[in-house]
Every structure is written in C-alpha cells, then in structure tokens.
Structure 1
Amino acid sequence: MSPTTSPGIARNARPYLYGGEEAALAEALHAGQYNHGELTEEFEQRVAAFLGVPETVAVASGTAAIHVALLAAGVGPGHEVVVPSFTFCATVQAILATGARPRFVEVNPGTGCVESDEVLAALTPQTRAILPVLYGGRPVDLTETRPALDEDGVTIVEDAAHAFGSRQGTRRVGATGVLTCFSFGPVKNLTCGLGGMIVPRTPLEADTCRRLRGLGIVESAAHRAESTTYTVDGFGMRVQMSPLNAAIGLVQLRHLGETKTRRRELWRAYAAALDGIDGLALVDADVERTLPPMFAVRVFDGRRDQVFRTLRQHGIGVGVHYPPNHTQPAFSEWHRPLPVTEHLGQEIMTLPFHQNLTPADATHVACELDRALNGAER
C-alpha cells in the first residue's frame, strides 16, 4: 500500500458515520426505551416519506424483512420461491425459514440480476413468490411478468438489501408497487448498525407484517401500556427494530443526498480508472439510477483466485460477493444445473468500496489490479 493511500483501502466495506449518530444514540439510550418505540415509528414515517409510500414496517435486519414479507405474502410449506442463486445466503435462509423451497434460477452475468424470461421459465404450480435480488443496488424491472404472476397468485418480494436510494424509472425502489425489503446493516448505503424495512402494498399487509414482527400481538405497545391484557391472534417473532438502531438511521437518512453523491463519484472513478484494462469487465450497476453499495468486476480466464490473493497480499481489501447458493451443502437438496451462475461465481470480485475512500484510492486499486492481471505499470 502506498503511503498516500487511505488505510481504509484494506477494507472491502466499512460503515460511514456523519458525526451525529453518537449523540442520537446516547439520547436514545438515556430515554430508556430499547424495544419498539417512538423513534422506531418516526424512522418508519421518515423512510415512507422519502420513498413516497403510505407506510413502512421496520424490523431487526434485512433477513428478518424478507422472512416477514414472505410470510405476509402467504408463503409456507409446500410452496416454491423463485430466487437467483447469485445472492447472499441470507436470502435463501429466509425462504427456508417459512418452510418453503427455493427454486434457483440464472442471472444476467453482466448485471448480476435475474431477468423476466428466467422467472417465467421457472414457474411451477407450487410457485408462490418471486424473490428478485437487486444486486449492486440495480433496479430489477419484472413488469412484463406481472400478468402471468397475478393470474397464478404469485407475489414479487424484492430483496432490495443493496438498493435503498436507487430508482426504477421515476419512482424510488420501494415505491414501484411490489413488496420490498431493505437492509440497513453495517455497510449498506444507510446503516442503522443493524436493521431492515418492509414496504407493504396495502394497509392489511402492513398490519400483518407488524403482528409477525411483534410475536403475533394485535395491540400496539402504546395501547398495551394502558391495558390489563392483550391479544395474540397468530404466529409471530420478536424481530422489531430497537429505537437505538432507529436513532442511528434517522441521522443517516438526513445525509442520504451526500451518500448518493459520494458513492456515485467513487463508482465513476473506478470505472474510469479501469477503462482499457485487459482481462476483466465491470458488472453494470446502472449508476445513473442506482445508489451503489459496491463495485464488482468479473476477472476472466480462470484468474480470479490468483488475482484475489495477490491484491490481498498488497493490502487491497477485495471480496467475493457471492459464491452461488445452489452449490452450497446446506442447499444441495434444491440444486439445479446453473452454468451461467457457476461461471460468474468463479469470476466475480468486489473492490474496496465505502465513503472513507477517495477517487485517488480508486485509481490506486485499479493500478494494483492491472499489475496483478497484466504486470503493467499504469
């Protein structure tokens, strides 16, 4: 690592704080409300206003968001959920948590995202939901599948863990009329430390999600405080978002414009610095519409692992997002031949990407990557 390079380049990703998070967290700690509370509800309302939707439902993590959303969509034992194998394992674990089965499908290797023809070809009589993954924050438009899905009673549940702040056409992801799940984990575009959010389609679906996240209890926390009893009318989990996490998220949300500017600037700096380097291709994030949480490339000719090791040895925090799930031991029961995804899984590599880095850092990483690939001095 050169002495002028940010030490943050050794990290593939890291949280970025704007300075007000500690004070907000301390205030929430002193307020003494650590379960679901007023700050959680304020965060829900602020996110809903940002997205342009009537309401949102905050939960403990992005994984919990997918789990709750699938249950709210009626997914359960005996059902199949169409999902790309190319995603973090949490997506698949959420499906299994409902008792349903994953039906793995291919993605476009140039984007990392599933497309309509793959979705339609994968439908079976047992299909209850489609779970597109918005890889790298890129919107996934499955509009042309909607008539067939609606006819069969199949719900689209978006795994938009990467995509908070991205747009699909004139609308933000989360406001396009499908059941959408966000993650606010440590290294996302907006962090709560840990947290997630569901964008329901109807008031009834919102109510269902709230009961599922809160142990199946019908009454609100405020109502229960004034009552001698409460009603449990079905299954539920304890996956509410704490006000402590919401306090961090409220600060982060105020700075999302700056987040967008800086992340797009870094993405474009990488794209410019990598232009013309032989042996790799960029995964297209559609950065004009996307608030990118990562920068992914494909390394060709079976050289990914060698390049990965070389860069790590030189203090460059590259990563692999993600190994295909259909080849994992835990999911072997649902294995299908997916040659495109398998090949992509052998090529994919993510470069250090977070707001502690500068365009100069991107240039440095590009030079090291070029040397690892081609032995060139840039």
Structure 2
Amino acid sequence: MTVSVKPDARRNAGPYLYGREAEAVARVLEGGQYGHTETTEEFERRIAEFLGVPDAVAVASGTAALHTALLAAGIGPGHEVIVPSMTFCATVQAVLAVGAAPRFVDIDPASLCVSDQMVTEAVSDTTAAVMPVLFGGRPVDLSAIRTELDDRGIVVIEDAAHAFGSRSGTRRVGANGAALTCFSFGPIKNLTCGQGGMVIPRTPAEADTIRRTRLLGVVQSQGERANTTSYRVDGFGLRYQLSSLNAAIGLVQFDGFQAAEDTRRHLWRTYRDALAPLDGATLVDVDVEHAVPHLCQVRVPHRDRVFASLRSRDIGVGVHYPPNHLQPAFAAWHRPLPATEQVGEEILSLPFHQHLTEADIDLVVTSLEQALKAIGAA
C-alpha cells in the first residue's frame, strides 16, 4: 500500500512521502505495540549515527523537545531565556511552560537569526539560557561568546526545528556538543514523522532526565515495567513519547533524506536565480551551502496587498512569522525590536516543498512580479 501527497504551487508547504510510509505503519499496527518500542529506539539510533553524537532522545513534537530540554537544563521560575521574537509561538510557549520568562531580542534582517552581539547585549543577571532559532534551516554561530556564556552558567538550547541536516562548519547541526539541540519532525518539516521531535543532549545525565520526563517521570522502561508489579516515579513528567507509529514513518523518511537534502537545495537555488532580476522583492538568504532549506522567503513592500493578490491567483504564499513580542499572550515581555517589526511587515513565504517543479517556481515568480507591478512596487 502506498500513499501519495502531491501539492503544487497552490500549497505553501506539504509533506513529501516516499511511498513506503504506509507499509511501515501497517507493520507496526500488525505487531500490536504502538507506544514507545524498539522502532522508536531504532529511529533514535539512526539519527544519532547520522549526526555522529552519543545519544538522541525522541519525543512527541518539536515543542516537547524544547520543553524537555529546558527542564533538563534546570531552567525554571526566576530565570530568563533569551529568544528571538521572530519564531513560531511554540518557542515562547516552551519557555513559559517551565515557568521562565522570555527575553525577546532582535534579529539580523538579512538572515532572520540572532547574532552573538544581540545575545550579549540582552544578557542580564537572571539569564539562564539562550535559545537561538535556526530560522529557515540557517545555522547560528555563537562560538565567539561561548566562553562568556559558559562562565556565566548560561546554557544554549538550539531551536533547530527548521534545521535538521544543516551544517555548522563541517558538522551537522546538533553535533557540536556545546548545546542542547531540538529538532521538529512535524508534518511539513524536511523530515517528518507525521508529528514528532528529538533532543540531542550534551550529557548522559541530560539524556536520562529527558527520557524520564517524556514518560511521566517513571524510571523503568516499558519492558522493565512488564516484569514487575510496581514502578517508581521520581520526578515531574509528561506523556511525551514518540510512538512507534510515528517512528516508523520517520525511519522511511530518514532513508530518503539525502535525496530530500539535494532536492531542497536545488529548489532554493532555482528560486534564487528566478528572483534575481525581479525588482521589489528581496530574497532572504539561508546560507544554502550549509543549510538544508526549510523555507524560501522574500521581503516585499505592501506585503499584505501582495499576499492577497497572490492568494487570489491561487498561489500558496504564507507568513512566517508574526512577531511574538506583539502577540497579546506575550505582551508582558514586550520591548521595541525595530528590525523584527520591520521584517514582520514585509516577510512573505513562497511555496516551498519537494513536490514543486521548475515550472511551478516560474509560475510563482511570474505571479509575484505581476502582483508587485499591480501595486506599483516593481
């Protein structure tokens, strides 16, 4: 049995299935064990081997990865976490979930990521963690301030939801050992489990904490509990395991990841070349030589009008993301962030997924040019 999903330029994003996911899920269903099983553990091993790290801990979502990483790092009430406002709201919600406070910082408008200088300027006496967002798949290099952060006991927790497979220097993101790295394997990510996430811990102690937290604080594994009349809960926990059904999808996706990596880079370069002569639209660079692109974005004047025009032409544009410091839920931590606010008014995500063809990209860019001309911006 195969399942095919074939979005085109009408969709902003969509999953890419290799045709074997349904069979992999069916095998797990036939086995009768759907929770955390050896299938999940195999997925963890494969990812750890790919990154060249000692351990990888699978969880139920990218948000769960951020939440459990913060808990493993000891972040909680009274602490402040430096985080860019330009990110999906899940990043901020994870900070609030542990009782900490977000300290919103501005971004470099060219990359949509934080810089080491921005982080340094935001550090306070209550800063306990920095959570850089690897926006669009672009790696973030904080090595210049690593000693300063370490000396102050400030942990780095990478929100790499967009960045599975990207490289920082010669290593894959997650492999430098200096940060807890959190991946998302949600429906539209470069590698999907349907829904899922993963934390790359720095130490065995962090790995143990995350494993207990994802299983409601229970010490024993599922296999160990089957052979005893009791079990022990030694701390706070949540139902955050990655099911074997989702892990089965992830294993098939992982087998095809090299092709996905190549395809996404090719599509992004195709967009870059097609957009180069276009006046009125500025492509956001993702450092495609190192990143596995997750988004293709431009900055345009009169963004809302351009958005409406393209939607009326059945082009699946989107906005990633409305700045969080302007959201009602996070108003208590608002501070002026001029670059973020400017980008928030201009950013536009073009359709970007592995089903796109070069003809689709030509259609998108032509439609964008027509939209810009119609409002007098090109």
Q: CA RMSD in A?
A: 1.2
Find the aligned partners of 1:211 and 1:152 in 2 and give their Cα distance. 28
Q: Which residue of 1 aligns with 2:245?
A: 244
Aligned residue runs from structure 1 range 219-238, under 5 A: 219-238=220-239
Q: Which residue of 1 aligns with 2:139?
A: 139
Shift of 1:168: 0.3
TM superposition score normalised by structure 1: 0.96
- CA offsets, 1:295-317, max 9 Å, x none? 011113xx111110000000000
Aligned residue runs from structure 1 range 131-170, under 5 A: 131-170=131-170
- CA offsets, 1:263-299, max 9 Å, x none? 1111011111111211111111000111111101111
Q: Which residue of 2 aligns with 1:199?
A: 200
Native 8 Å contact 2:8 2:360 kept in 1: no
Matched position secondary structure for 1:9: coil
Q: Which residue of 2 aligns with 1:117?
A: 117
Does residue 289 of structure 2 align to residue 291 of structure 1? no
The one-letter amino acid of 2:337's match is L
Find the aligned partners of 2:9 and 2:319 in 1 and give their Cα distance. 16
Native 8 Å contact 2:7 2:355 kept in 1: no
- CA offsets, 1:125-170, max 9 Å, x none? 1111000000000000101111111111110000000000100000
Find the aligned partners of 1:130 and 1:286 in 2 and give their Cα distance. 22
Does residue 8 of structure 2 align to residue 8 of structure 1? yes
Shift of 1:374: 2.1
Find the aligned partners of 2:23 and 2:58 in 1 and give their Cα distance. 22
Find the aligned partners of 2:174 and 2:31 in 1 and give their Cα distance. 31
Native 8 Å contact 2:158 2:180 kept in 1: yes
The one-letter amino acid of 2:333's match is W
The one-letter amino acid of 1:339's match is P
Shift of 1:113: 0.4
TM superposition score normalised by structure 2: 0.96
Aligned residue runs from structure 1 range 1-378, under 5 A: 8-177=8-177, 178-300=179-301, 303-375=302-374
Native 8 Å contact 1:193 1:245 kept in 2: yes
Matched position secondary structure for 1:26: helix
Native 8 Å contact 1:279 1:373 kept in 2: yes
Percent identity, aligned pairs only? 62
Q: Report which stretch shifted further, 134-143 or 276-285.
A: 276-285
Native 8 Å contact 2:68 2:210 kept in 1: yes
Find the aligned partners of 2:38 and 2:137 in 1 and give their Cα distance. 30
Find the aligned partners of 1:95 and 1:348 in 2 and give their Cα distance. 25
The one-letter amino acid of 1:356's match is H
Find the aligned partners of 2:173 and 2:271 in 1 and give their Cα distance. 24
Q: In structure 2, do the counterparts of structure 1 residues 148 and 187 end up closer, same or farther at CA, with 3 Å as the change threshold? A: same
Find the aligned partners of 2:46 and 2:362 in 1 and give their Cα distance. 37
List structure 1 segments (4+ residues) > 2 angstroms apart after TM superposition: none
Q: Which residue of 1 aligns with 2:3?
A: none
Native 8 Å contact 1:265 1:359 kept in 2: no
- CA offsets, 1:174-232, max 9 Å, x none? 10121000000000000000000000001111001101111111111111111222111
Find the aligned partners of 1:358 and 1:20 in 2 and give their Cα distance. 22
Native 8 Å contact 2:212 2:218 kept in 1: yes
Find the aligned partners of 1:342 and 1:283 in 2 and give their Cα distance. 16
Shift of 1:7: 6.0
Find the aligned partners of 1:152 and 1:130 in 2 and give their Cα distance. 12
